[in-house]
Amino acid sequence: MKPFLHRLTRAAVLLAAPLLAAPLLALSAHAGELTLFTDSNFEGQPLTLRGSAPDLDPLGFNDRASSVVVRSGTWQLCEHSEYRGRCMTVERGEYRSLSGFNDVISSVREVGGGGRDDRGGRDDRGGRWDRDDDRGYGHRREAIILFSKSRFNGARLELHNNEVRTLDRYDFNDVAGSVIVNEGRWELCEHADFGGRCIVLEPGRYEFLDDMNNRISSLRRVR
């Protein structure tokens, strides 16, 4: 009986081995990858990441990224270490320039669910950012998102504060090419301090801004 039991046990182990390995293979298959470049148009020194980098300084890449290629996954790029301050979310694709985030990125991490994995808190301008931490706290959606290109492409600027008198402070002046309004009614104007021509947007997705494209300099919530 002993030889038979030995053969039976060995057969069971061999059958179980592929099943045990399957989750590991699945995890590795879903690992994301992106490459940062010191210059726009994917030129200059590259840095390829396949995991989170809470501080790019030890890698010699703090405040140096000017373009990005995302080969897989969804990634969050933040202006301070430990994913603090303003953040932008990039998905698979090529980003030849980082309007509003050029040479300011200090930490990078792969996130799920479209990038809603920020630690929350306030940046140095008092803006409130999403959080979804390991204690199970929910996140609050950004009220309005500006994109540097049409169809929600390019760099993005997420805002919770009810007014921005000049987008210069975010390096996003005359940059916006599309907008998502998640809550409230917003007035977007072509000059600082809500001057010049303005448009009012209700909650919705605006793939194009027509004759206001690349002309927005200030915005405020009007309801």
Quick check: helix, strand or coil at residue 59?
helix
Average pLDDT of the residues of the chain? 77
Give the helix/strand (H/E) hosting 6: helix 2-29
Check: pTM over 0.85? Answer yes or no: no
Confidence category of residue 180, pLDDT binned at 50, 70, 90: very high
Quick check: helix, strand or coil at residue 173?
coil
Per-residue pLDDT tens for 54-93? Answer: 999 999 999 999 999 999 988 989 999 998 888 888 888 8
Q: Are 155 and 99 in contact (CB under 8 A)?
A: yes
Tokens of 80: 């301070």
Domain at 32-126: CATH code: 2.60.20.10
Q: How far apart are CA 168 and CA 5, in angstroms?
A: 75
Q: Name the residue type at position 178.
A: S
Q: Would the CATH topology of 32-126 be identical to that of 141-223?
A: yes
- Return the CATH class of domain 141-223: mainly beta
User: What is residue 172's predicted lDDT score, i.e. its pLDDT?
Assistant: 93
* Residue-range domain boundaries for the chain: 32-126, 141-223
Q: Which residue has the tokens 């210059």?
A: 39
Confidence category of residue 10, pLDDT binned at 50, 70, 90: low
Contacts of 144 (CB under 8 A, 6+ apart): 158, 159, 179, 180, 181, 182, 184, 186, 219, 221
Least confident piece of the model among 23-37, 46-60, 120-134, 135-149 = 120-134
User: Does the pLDDT of residue 101 top 90, yes or no?
Assistant: no
Distances in Å between the Cα of 184 and the Cα atoms of 56, 105, 134, 158 are 36, 30, 29, 14
Q: Are 171 and 200 in contact (CB under 8 A)?
A: no
User: What is residue 15's predicted lDDT score, i.e. its pLDDT?
Assistant: 44
Distances in Å between the Cα of 34 and the Cα atoms of 63, 65, 79, 133 are 17, 12, 17, 23
